[in-house]
Structure 1
């Protein structure tokens, strides 16, 4: 898997510094049992399989965000979409990984090194879902999945003090690099909440890109917008989300 991503601002081509069409990046969370899913964050492996088949039928392939951005920096990658899985749920290994491999896809897995082997205690409604251990993260990485940081413990960075902000960005990156033994270049903002201060902290921590949900007026490789994909997203809904994403989002500064 790509161990780093060249920042579009340093891609060496003048075209790479201007705004470009927003990349399509899908946001998943858990892949597995949906019997108790109050936040609607889970898709079944069967639904994920159908969604990836939908992409392939349209000549599209799901890849990690690092691979997507590297292709865009070369002026390519229009047939690629980013696949991201937030929180680092343990069900990724059995629920998502075999499906991705079946379709020749890769993905980015955003994990929480401060909660290794723990659970999603930040969700007040539950249910408690186990998170990957360090060994589980290494298994995913060995299978070609890009590992990125989702912060240290899943806190809202827009409300964090300076000490917590540093730990959640730079601190989580350092811990993850010890776990994986490879550079960590991607960050994902917990809850999708982001402001300029959080963006600057992520950039200063050395990340090449950051994933948000709806970054509002913010733009650039460190605040990439994403599209939630859930259990209800069958062919028609996926088509609409894919087509509307570029219409609803402004071009991204620093991407071509």
Structure 2
């Protein structure tokens, strides 16, 4: 199996090939669809360290600036998420792009908001209400920090023992990938328990990262004074909803929206499924979002938006702006839709 770094090198080579061939230009009318929704997480200027397995979730302010400028140069109109259903239903008009940020990180207000304001860009921040309250588990960050501190990673996951050295960045990366892959495949309760054990072995308490990294309610209220900013729900505790009973998933979604609306005094019309891949959100979750009256709900399934998505507004794909691919070639490819159509084997819809 390829390591994550090897996969990213292959992806980057593919983006370069698309750019050199000009396919991102001449195939764009076929692959692009009517628009797209971009996904961001962290925006911060600091370069990643030698061991940074979550680097894919962070881009620099300069790359955000390049992204917004490239969108304009390629004829995209920036629109709020509220406008997506109507823009999808249009038969003519320029391509559109909506900008979304997941989790509610402090760096979005510090580093992303000024760039977005310079471009006059509307954007939606999806808030996990527990994170805004300084609670909850950003377990992917906890795992990274635990492995960074440990010289050896030892735990049982999925009925098998993982026992790996973690003395240097290469070993730490292999250990992180082994633990991440094994725990993501199993129940979320086991994932949280085992990562909590690693945090204890590394000398820190799990559940303390949100207060450090995420915007609290006061900061969100201050950010919300900007009319370009809208807020969406990202559940209460950021669970992989499909791994939980229906009642749990319903409560996570509904309680998140209620808390955000109560704290911020603004309607919440859009939902982002945590993690958002097919193992985390599927037809049951799409139906829940529809039943709860959300105007749209977004996944992390990769793809552009086509006319057919008007019938699947609670299973919308997004295009992730990946911190491992901060290049003009990667950006051009993603905005063209060419690599994504290939990834989806020519399918426009992936809603099963």
Structure 1 equivalent of residue 330 of structure 2: 237
Structure 2 equivalent of residue 72 of structure 1: 88
Cα deviation 1:148-207 (Å, max 9, x = unaligned): 011111001001123321221111111111122121111011111211111111112221
Cα deviation 1:200-233 (Å, max 9, x = unaligned): 11112221111002289x9711010111112323
1:27 to 33, 39, 43: 39
TM-score, normalised by the number of residues in structure 2: 0.60
TM-score, normalised by the number of residues in structure 1: 0.81
CA distance in 1, matches of 2:94, 2:249: 35
Q: How does 1:44-193 map to 2 (within 5 A)?
A: 44-73=60-89, 75=91, 78-118=94-134, 121-123=138-140, 124-127=142-145, 128=209, 130-143=213-226, 144-192=228-276, 193=280
1:199 to 280, 283, 286: 286
CA contact (8 A) 1:122 1:154 kept: no
2:293 alignment partner, SS class:
coil
Alignment gaps of 5+ in structure 1: 1-20
CA contact (8 A) 1:61 1:105 kept: no
1:194 alignment partner, SS class:
coil
CA contact (8 A) 1:51 1:234 kept: no
User: For the structure 1 residues 80 and 92, does the alpha-carbon distance in structure 2 shift closer, same or farther, using more than 3 Å as the test?
Assistant: same
CA distance in 2, matches of 1:31, 1:60: 22
**Would you say how many aligned residue pairs link Structure 1 and Structure 2?**
233
> Which segments of structure 1 move beyond 6 Å, counting only runs of 4 or more?
none
Structure 2 equivalent of residue 210 of structure 1: 297
2:318 to 226, 244, 255: 226
CA distance in 1, matches of 2:79, 2:292: 24
CA distance in 2, matches of 1:137, 1:73: 32
1:54 alignment partner, SS class:
helix
Q: How big is the shift at 1:250?
A: 4.0
Which structure's residues are more often helix, by fraction? 2
CA contact (8 A) 2:34 2:95 kept: no
Q: How big is the shift at 1:77?
A: 5.9
